[in-house]
Amino acid sequence: MTQRLQQIAQQLSASRSQCNSQKCLLASQVVIVTGGAQGIGEAVVTLFAQHGAKIAISDIDAERSQRLVEKLEKEGVDAAYFPGDLLDLSFPQTLIQQVLKRFGKINCLVNNAGMHSKPVNPASSLMVYERLPER
Ligand SMILES: NC(=O)c1ccc[n+]([C@@H]2O[C@H](COP(=O)([O-])OP(=O)(O)OC[C@H]3O[C@@H](n4cnc5c(N)ncnc54)[C@H](O)[C@@H]3O)[C@@H](O)[C@H]2O)c1
């Protein structure tokens, strides 16, 4: 297992160092990362972007999402954000439609949005907490 993980890490590292436009591992692939504005989601966004993916961030925190998209765009990444609450049952459908309209396809979904017991950002976690159906 450890050996396989080392192999994957080496492949990713090699791919990143060679990554320019069409040579990237994930060139032209469109990925949605829910909860992509911070924490683990932001790390996933960064890694996918480094490998050439087009990034769709969906997060309840629109401000953080916007800041991250602006940062990615400065680095030449094709990125957009689609703010919304994934606890709202109608939102995923809207999200898919909006991403398809913006990017034309979806190759990958990283379903990461959620709450952790020790929030990195108390403000956004409070927003989420207040929307929980049962407490
Ligand atoms: N950090 C850990 O140790 C850990 C451990 C186990 C599981 N997880 C899970 O991993 C995921 C990411 O964790 P993290 O530590 O990066 O959390 P985080 O709080 O730093 O980030 C979560 C992101 O998801 C967004 N989000 C939360 N609920 C949402 C909703 N209903 N709609 C839209 N966006 C929403 C938040 O605004 C935030 O940007 C979570 O699902 C968490 O439960 C984390």
Give me ligand 1 centre to Cα 103, in Å.
25
30-34/108-111 β-pairing: parallel
Beta bridge partners of 32: 56, 109
pLDDT at 129: 67
Which residue CA neighbors atom 2 of ligand 1 most closely? 116
Tell me if 8 CB under 6 Å of ligand 1. Answer: no
pLDDT at 4: 74
Nearest-5° Cα angle at 46, 105 to 2 = 105
Q: How many CB atoms lie within 10 A of CB 19?
A: 16
| Full-model pTM | 0.84
Which residue CA neighbors atom 3 of ligand 1 most closely? 116
Tell me if 124 CB under 6 Å of ligand 1. Answer: yes
pLDDT at 128: 65
Q: How many CB atoms lie within 10 A of CB 61?
A: 22
CA atoms lying within 13 Å on the CB side of residue 93: 3
CATH number of 2-131: 3.40.50.720
pLDDT at 2: 74
Query: Which portions of the chain are predicted below pLDDT 50?
Result: none
CA atoms lying within 13 Å on the CB side of residue 116: 11
